[in-house]
Structure 1
Amino acid sequence: MEQTLSSPPFRLTALSLLAALSLSGAVLAQETPVPAAASSGPVFSAPSAFSFDLLAERAATLARQPYAPTPIEHPEVLEKIDYDAHWRIRFRDAASVQVGDTFAQFFHLGTYFRQPVKIFTVAEGEAREVVYSPDYFEMPEDSPAHGLETNAGFAGFRLMRPDMKSDWISFLGAAYFRSDGALRQYGLSARAVALNTGLSIPEEFPRFTEFYLEPGPDGATIVNALMDGPSVTGAYRMVMRDTPGKGQVMDISSRLFFRAPVERLGVAPLTSMFWYSESNRFQSADWRPEVHDTDGLMIHTGAGEHIWRPLNNPDRVVTSSYLDRGLKGFGLVQRDRDFNHYQDDGVFYDKRPAVWIEPTSDWGAGAVQLVEIPTDDEIYDNIVAFWNPETAPKAGDELRFDYRMHWVDEPPVEMPLARTVATQVGNGGVPGQPRPKDAIKVVLDFAGPALEGLDPREGATPEISAPEGVKVVNPFVVRVVGTDRWRLTFDLKAPAETDTVDLRAYIAQDGVPLTETWLGQFHLAQIHRLR
């Protein structure tokens, strides 16, 4: 069941934008090798007992106390460490911290990440904090970072590949983190939790304040993290593996403790960018054919239905809810892997990872929610998807969510049905005849095992559901000549006062679906205005 809500005017908050910019800085830093330098190596504090249960107890204790944000020291200096100044500060290889089979390197504080985090290593049940020193970093002589004290602290960290020339995951900014996937190209971001995203009230951004890094089984790395914010605290345990050519898999256990009620809780939130694709090319005058980190929301429902929802760039904030119980998985996915559809050899949108969330505990009833925010540029993360539990948390509540996160080129979901490979929109009517002013044409392409070798005479039929008052005109299905693609085409007519139209469509044979369910959402006034 789908619900669509429109919110009052809203733009990305400053913190969400800054977190995105800070992660971009992580990419810049990894693209320029850090020169080796003499160093005595990292320095550690005295050990103290550690376990994930102890961390969860600390989070629970914090939640019973008033929120106290981490102080910001020397803001006048941090203000000068802007985007350009920050990425010129390089961590020295010789100061890297070994964690099992991998090495961790740290990010310096800057204007976009002013609150330091504590970073510990864990071995045999004991944690030792890595003591900050400016000697770990190579800085230009004129860098404003020289004006900080010697105990300034770190902004975050990244885990390096064996060649020490590139990282595969980074934690930097609030509770954001991201991996580079199977094709080794950073794209969308993940967060520990999303609070009140897309509402008229301010969005809240709790932050990771402490990290505990330890070696895991079979070459895995474990990141334990303490989270703190005005409304919620939390403990996270992430067992992560990087497999060359296949991407990253993370097994995540989260325990959340609420100081205050939360109107909209987002579990396993994913944050991405969608400006335009083949479906809304008319919304941009940019020279590139498409610009997006991901092009759709994919859902595998508790009932076993496979859903594809193409992303939109609406003219207002829109929240769509897909109610479910026993959710099998959801994710933001970049399906289009054809470089020619992007023509960008600088940021390689064709290589951006897909992220698939697979619950490994009982999440109960709730909804996958998709928040789409207007954008006119690619620098904004304007898409958020997450699981929203049926019951909103209250002060004093404790919630647990376990899930597996896949950073891949293709979600690991078995599906014999054909998948949506293109959603295209244009003027309604027939070429050579007067075009109706009140109609648009929708063209959906599907491809996959269930359609391969299908004889056009075997009766493939379009199955389309539309709201009352909306007309679907002349729907038909044909095979695209010379390919294994099948095309579902129809015109859509709606009353002039119609705001938003939500559709369901798939191709069937004798009533049996041959394709996943395509869910389309159209804002007709926007389309008509931009013709």
Structure 2
Amino acid sequence: MKKFVFLCPLSLGLFLLFVFFGASKYKTTGKQPKAKENVSFFSRLVKKAKELSFTSYLQPPPVPAQLSNLSYDQWFGISFKDPRGIIPNESRFVIKPFPLGYLFCQPVFLHLITANGEEKNYDFEPSLFDFKNVELGKLPKNLGFSGFRVFYDSKEKGGWLELFSIVGASYFRSLGLGQTWGLSARAIAVNTTGSSKEEFPYYREFWIEEPKKEDRSLSFYALLDGESLTGAFHFLFSPGETSKLEIENYIFLRKTVEKLGIAPLTSMFLQGENSPLLYNPLHPEEHDSDGLSIQLDTGEWIWRPLQNPPFFSSFEFPIRGKLLGFGLMQRDRNFDHYKSLLLHYESRPSAWIIPSQGWEEGHVELVELPTTTETKDNIVCYFVSNTPALSQKQFHYAYTIFWGRDVIAGSEIGRVVSTRYAQLDKTIREYVVDFSIPGSSEGLDPQPILLVGQGAKLIELRIERNSYVNGFRLTFKIQRQEAGPIPLKAYLEAKDFPLTETWDYVDFP
């Protein structure tokens, strides 16, 4: 049984929101290809991060007030002048730095690694940017940047498209061709839940390998620094219909961390088909992701529909066996469910993480925070190892994040396509869950398996064919007997074999 934790709200730091805006065939199991890396350089970077962990953490120097006082519109309106970005040679990648300012005031320093291995600094100069009509006065030349964005020359889509960006603490995000910006990721999550204050380590430096004309992937490195830890990261970004980001990292603990979250994803869920309250009736659904998906080597798939909860909530999903993958999905691709001509939630990417090295026993944790607006990220998920994150300990992880519309390949199990419920009276609620079955569902006689947690009792259950989703509809009623959250689980089986993933839910009071 999962552990349910309910705490007071986090600081608004958790809501640090990105305000800027394919892979070849792959399988969800098996060993993932190792990112091509400059072994000599990366080993030196790992050593540098380890040595840094034995020193005291130093806060980054403050930026000039005229930058930190910029509004979002002023900051985002600043543009990098050179259309070819910072890479001098011709390639299918253009990299443009973000300036410091607005919320993004931690200086980041950029370096280039040439084809012959030479490292060159790429220094900030005010003349690199067009500040439009913003009067900033004289700025020093050694300020640094706040991050960078990556454009890719897509022959398929006929031009340059921005497909990756990294700015603000350790946040980054990507998408596939033809999609709209949505959820984001982080290098690490530190004390997102628990009694300790949450921390946001930041990238101090980046080293970008200059891509060749024929390259279809971009390789770069990062040095992470924070109050409790340091880290060395290698990224290999491969854009496409489904974009792929291969990550290898070494994490070094300056001091003991209560909760260390690996491969964190951050998203937004305001309202959906399962929401009791609509904050914006003109857009019935507003979310970057609608569910957490988990794949285990036992053959079990878990689907947790996201919610906008009445209070801060966190949930632990113990991993029995081996974790094959997890991620935040945007399954609902029907425009009519969102009805937004501007925001296009139906085209926002899902993010699917496949572990490859260093992943031990542990659990996946989902954090949901209440929100009344679509402008704040209120969903976080990550992996937590059972190994304590003690002072001077080090961790090594490698994993791949796939960003796109349908990022899970090879699944032949039935999926949940919708979750709805109605409050029939003060204590009775009725749930309707639709399962879609791949291939033909004719001749199947599935049996529903339903578990109702402590605090409620099942009073009605039925299953019927639903040809509109090529599957079945499970309908049941529960009567609440206690005021707390009640766990619910359901799946369909045929001949004692699971026919669908496990629908995993929480009935909030």
* Common topology (TM > 0.5): yes
Question: How far apart, in 2, do the equivalents of 1:127 and 1:492 lie?
Answer: 64
| Contact 2:329/2:350 (<8 A) preserved | yes
Q: How does 1:275-354 map to 2 (within 5 A)?
A: 275-324=270-319, 325-354=321-350
Q: By how many angstroms is 1:97 displaced? A: 1.8
Structure 1 counterpart of 2:232, from 232, 235, 249 = 235
Does 218-227 or 168-177 show the bigger shift? 218-227
The aligned residue for residue 51 of structure 1 is 41
Pair 1:201–1:362, CA change in 2 (3 A): closer
Question: How far apart, in 2, do the equivalents of 1:369 and 1:354 lie?
Answer: 18
Structure 2 counterpart of 1:115, from 96, 103, 106 = 106
Structure 2 counterpart of 1:453, from 441, 462, 466 = 441
Pair 1:506–1:132, CA change in 2 (3 A): same
Does 95-104 or 363-372 show the bigger shift? 95-104
The aligned residue for residue 475 of structure 2 is 489
Question: How far apart, in 1, do the equivalents of 2:169 and 2:307 lie?
Answer: 26
Question: How far apart, in 2, do the equivalents of 1:298 and 1:87 lie?
Answer: 34
Pair 1:362–1:116, CA change in 2 (3 A): closer
The aligned residue for residue 90 of structure 1 is 79
1:132 aligned onto 2:124? yes
For this pair of structures, how many residues does the alignment match?
Answer: 482
Q: By how many angstroms is 1:202 displaced? A: 1.8
Q: By how many angstroms is 1:94 displaced? A: 4.0
Structure 2 counterpart of 1:60, from 50, 61, 67 = 50
Question: How far apart, in 2, do the equivalents of 1:344 and 1:156 lie?
Answer: 30
Pair 1:133–1:362, CA change in 2 (3 A): closer
Q: TM-score, length-normalised on structure 1?
A: 0.87
| Contact 1:281/1:289 (<8 A) preserved | no
| Contact 2:216/2:239 (<8 A) preserved | no
| SS class of match (1:340) | helix
The aligned residue for residue 480 of structure 1 is 466
| Contact 1:295/1:310 (<8 A) preserved | yes
| SS class of match (1:396) | coil
Q: By how many angstroms is 1:283 displaced? A: 4.5
Query: What code does the residue aligned with 1:316 have?
Result: F
Pair 1:463–1:347, CA change in 2 (3 A): same
Query: What code does the residue aligned with 2:459 have?
Result: V
| SS class of match (2:299) | coil
Q: By how many angstroms is 1:281 displaced? A: 4.5
Pair 1:422–1:268, CA change in 2 (3 A): same
Q: Which runs of 4+ in 1 moved over 6 A?
A: none
1:148 aligned onto 2:134? no
1:254 aligned onto 2:246? no
Pair 1:312–1:483, CA change in 2 (3 A): closer
Question: How far apart, in 2, do the equivalents of 1:377 and 1:255 lie?
Answer: 36
The aligned residue for residue 400 of structure 1 is 396
Pair 1:85–1:490, CA change in 2 (3 A): same
Query: What code does the residue aligned with 1:13 have?
Result: L
| SS class of match (1:347) | coil
Does 460-469 or 53-62 show the bigger shift? 460-469
| Contact 2:454/2:486 (<8 A) preserved | no
Question: How far apart, in 1, do the equivalents of 2:48 and 2:140 lie?
Answer: 29
Query: What code does the residue aligned with 2:173 have?
Result: R
| Contact 1:12/1:381 (<8 A) preserved | no
Question: How far apart, in 2, do the equivalents of 1:477 and 1:153 lie?
Answer: 61
Question: How far apart, in 2, do the equivalents of 1:134 and 1:248 lie?
Answer: 33
Post-superposition Cα deviations, 1:80-127, rounded to whole Å, max 9, x if no partner, equal 322121111111134612275412101111021112101111122221
The aligned residue for residue 103 of structure 1 is 94
| Contact 2:170/2:203 (<8 A) preserved | yes
| SS class of match (2:66) | helix
Task: From the two aligned structures, give the one with the greater helix fraction.
Answer: 1
Question: How far apart, in 1, do the equivalents of 2:468 and 2:168 lie?
Answer: 49
Question: How far apart, in 2, do the equivalents of 1:213 and 1:399 lie?
Answer: 24
Q: By how many angstroms is 1:285 displaced? A: 4.5
Pair 1:130–1:285, CA change in 2 (3 A): closer
CA RMSD of aligned residues (A): 1.9
Question: How far apart, in 1, do the equivalents of 2:438 and 2:242 lie?
Answer: 25
Post-superposition Cα deviations, 1:483-503, rounded to whole Å, max 9, x if no partner, equal 5131000001121x3301111
The aligned residue for residue 6 of structure 1 is 6
| SS class of match (1:251) | strand
Question: How far apart, in 2, do the equivalents of 1:135 and 1:165 lie?
Answer: 24
| SS class of match (2:486) | strand
Task: Give identity over the alignment, percent.
Answer: 33
Q: By how many angstroms is 1:133 displaced? A: 1.4
Question: How far apart, in 2, do the equivalents of 1:218 and 1:366 lie?
Answer: 37
Query: What code does the residue aligned with 2:426 have?
Result: K
Structure 2 counterpart of 1:78, from 63, 67, 71 = 67
Question: How far apart, in 1, do the equivalents of 2:463 and 2:182 lie?
Answer: 35
Does 403-412 or 479-488 show the bigger shift? 479-488
Question: How far apart, in 2, do the equivalents of 1:152 and 1:358 lie?
Answer: 37
Question: How far apart, in 2, do the equivalents of 1:183 and 1:473 lie?
Answer: 46
Question: How far apart, in 2, do the equivalents of 1:424 and 1:479 lie?
Answer: 17
1:219 aligned onto 2:209? no
Structure 2 counterpart of 1:507, from 454, 478, 492 = 492
Query: What code does the residue aligned with 1:453 have?
Result: S
Q: By how many angstroms is 1:219 displaced? A: 2.1
Structure 2 counterpart of 1:159, from 140, 150, 158 = 150
Question: How far apart, in 2, do the equivalents of 1:285 and 1:252 lie?
Answer: 38
Question: How far apart, in 2, do the equivalents of 1:171 and 1:113 lie?
Answer: 11
| Contact 1:461/1:476 (<8 A) preserved | no
